[in-house]
Each structure stands twice: as C-alpha cells, then as structure tokens.
Amino acid sequence: MNVALSNNKADSVVIKKKKKTFFSEIKQNFYLYLLVFPGVLFFVIFKYLPMVGIIVAFQDFNIMKGLFKSEFVGLKNFEYFFTSKDWLVVTWNTVYLNLLFLFTGLFFSILIALVLSEISSKYFKKVTQSVVILPNFISWTLVSMFVFALLSTDVGFINSVLKTLGIIQEGQEINFYSNPALWTGILVVLKIWKTAGFGSVIYLAAIAGIDQEIYEAAKIDGASRMQCITKITLPQLRTTAVLMTLFGIGNIFDGDLGMIYAIVGDNPNLYETTDVIDTYVFRMLRQMNDFSMTTAIGLYQALVGFVIVYITNYFAKKYDSDSAIF
C-alpha cells in the first residue's frame, strides 16, 4: 500500500528542465556557432551597419560635413523624385521587367529540369546540364559584346543574314538600338538564356527527392510518362516553385543594373522601356553627384519591395503554409 502511494507521488512530480541560457547554448554548440559566425559577421558589416546611411535620404548631404553634420531637409529629396516625370516610368519598367524575368525564368527553369530528369543516358545528361548551366558564369559585359555583334545596324549578324536572304535591302537595316519597343523581348530572352539553366538545378534537386516508388506504382497502374509528369512531378514541385517565386518577388524592385547598363548603357533612345530604378539612380549619381536623392530613391525601392514581399508571403501562407518564408 505504501509502495503504491509512493509510486503515485513519484508520477505526480513534474520534472522541470533547466532552462537554457544564451551562453549555455553557445557553450553546448560552440563549433556550430563558430561555423555560422563568418556569415553573420558578413551580414552585420555589409548589410546592417550600412543602414545608418539611410539618414542621408533626409539630408542635403555634404561629404566635407560628414554624415551627422549635413543639413537636415526632411522629405525634400523624395519630393524631387516624385514630382519628376521619370519616377513612374522607371518604377513601371522595373516591376514589369522583373515580373517577366520572374515568371518566364520560373517556367523555363522547371521545363529544363523536367527535360533533364527524363534523359536516361547519364553521360548525355551531364553534358547537357553543363551546357545549359554554363551561360550563368558568363559576365554581362561579355554578353553585351555578343549582343552588339548580333544586333548592330551596320555589321550585325541578324541584319547581314536578312540582307543575304533578300528579306531587306541595303539601307533598310533594322536599327535595334533606336527602337525601344524591341528591347523588352530582347532583355527577357537574354535573361532566360543566362539564368534559366542555373535555376533548373533547384528543381532538379527537388525532383531527385521525390520517392521513386510513387512513379513505379503509377506505371503499374498504366500511367504514361506525361501523366507521371503532370500528376506527380509538377505537384511535388509546387512548394519549391512558390518559395522561389517569393524570393523573386523580394527583388521585384531591384533592377538588374549589371545586365541593363552593360547591354543598353546610356542610350536615351531606349530609356522608355529599359530605364529601371537602379540605372536611373546610377545615372543621377554620375551626372548630378547627388548622394541624398539617390539614397532617397534607394530607400523608396527597399520599402516598397519589403511591403510587396510581406503581402505576397501572407497570401502564400494562406494558400500553403509550407510555401511561406515566415
């Protein structure tokens, strides 16, 4: 009887675990945190500390006076940008081009991953994968030289071929560098060519993680290869695709300066469709030496981008909680 009572008392005792402190956690997983430390240090130095410079957006910044002694002007720098006729153009171009880059890149990355996953020859698969990934490692400066060789009015490959075939005559060459309507498509094609192959690596990894027994069971039930792709592979890629889309939307207000400036440069004939926020800021900084206005535009770019990511993540979480970033 006494033994039974003592057992009941023992069962009723709640064992409290000692709460870990920050320093005990560091001590227990010291080497893991040591591995993480260089990455954290990088973000602190190059991402968080520079945020102090945001105050330049509200100043008439003078290099000689420094960051904390320059005159405070409030929202004057923002007013200059938003009252100009350029802000709507560069904002629209940035969002429109990035949306095209995002969804065409998503489509072709998945398509390339599906094609590569269906190749049975290991040797041919490796060679093909290397070929489609290679453009990602070519700089935009080098790409711009290829583009000029293709599109030049006088000596460009495309105009030369058209003249050889008799489609156009001498003096009727297509002047690509003065026709802004053509450049949305040109930039999209170049972006797909350069990045879609590398982007397919993520989807190839996701496909490799799918249980092969599901495919075997589907084949036993008489499913064709196309049915396996549409009913098994694509649904399994949904979470990855939504997550990558969210990451892409996070950069929806970041114009690809390296790409557009290398290919288009300071060509005012093409600003109508190619001038994005980043190229606009870079040009204003070089021409006006106005650090305050360019910082203000950069802050506007960052804040709107953050809001868009937050809203998109909210709806993604409602649709599929596994696809949300936070």
In the 3-class helix/strand/coil scheme, how is the chain assigned residue by residue?
CHHHHHHHHHHHCCCCCCCCCHHHHHHHCHHHHHHHHHHHHHHHHHHHHHHHHHHHHHEECCCCCCCCCCEECCCHHHHHHHCCCHHHHHHHHHHHHHHHHHHHHHHHHHHHHHHHHHCCCHHHHHHHHHHHHHHHHCCHHHHHHHHHHHHCCCCCHHHHHHHHCCCCCCCCCCCHHHCHHHHHHHHHHHHHHHHHHHHHHHHHHHHHCCCHHHHHHHHHCCCCHHHHHHHHHHHHCHHHHHHHHHHHHHCCCCCCHHHHHHHCCCCHHHHHHHCCHHHHHHHHHHHHCCHHHHHHHHHHHHHHHHHHHHHHHHHHHHHCHHHCCC
pLDDT at 13: 47
Mean predicted confidence (pLDDT) in 168-173? 84
- Average pLDDT of the chain is 86
281, two tokens: 């800021």
Q: How far apart are CA 219 and CA 227, in angstroms?
A: 10
Mean predicted confidence (pLDDT) in 27-53? 90
Is the pLDDT at 110 greater than 90? The verdict is yes
Spatial contact of 187 and 274, defined as CB atoms under 8 Å apart: yes
Give bridge partners of residue 59 from the DSSP assignment. 72
Pick the more confident residue, 9 or 294.
294
Q: Percentage of residues in the chain with pLDDT exceeding 90?
A: 39
Spatial contact of 254 and 278, defined as CB atoms under 8 Å apart: yes
Pick the more confident residue, 188 or 239.
188
253, two tokens: 């207000």
Q: How far apart are CA 213 and CA 26, in angstroms?
A: 42
Mean predicted confidence (pLDDT) in 15-30? 74
Least confident segment among 14-28, 194-208, 247-261, 300-314: 14-28
Is the pLDDT at 9 greater than 60? The verdict is no
State pLDDT tens for residues 171-192: 888 999 999 999 999 999 999 9
Q: How far apart are CA 53 and CA 297, in angstroms?
A: 13
Q: Within a 10 A sphere around the Cβ of 252, how many other Cβ atoms?
A: 20
Which residue type sits at 81? F
The domains located in the chain, with CATH, are: 21-74 (no CATH), 85-323 (1.10.3720.10)
Q: Within a 10 A sphere around the Cβ of 178, how many other Cβ atoms?
A: 12
Confidence of residue 322 (pLDDT cuts 50, 70, 90): low
Spatial contact of 95 and 252, defined as CB atoms under 8 Å apart: yes
pLDDT at 1: 44
Confidence of residue 324 (pLDDT cuts 50, 70, 90): low
Greatest CA span in the chain, whole angstroms? Answer: 111
State pLDDT tens for residues 57-109: 999 888 888 888 899 998 888 888 888 888 899 999 999 999 999 999 999 99
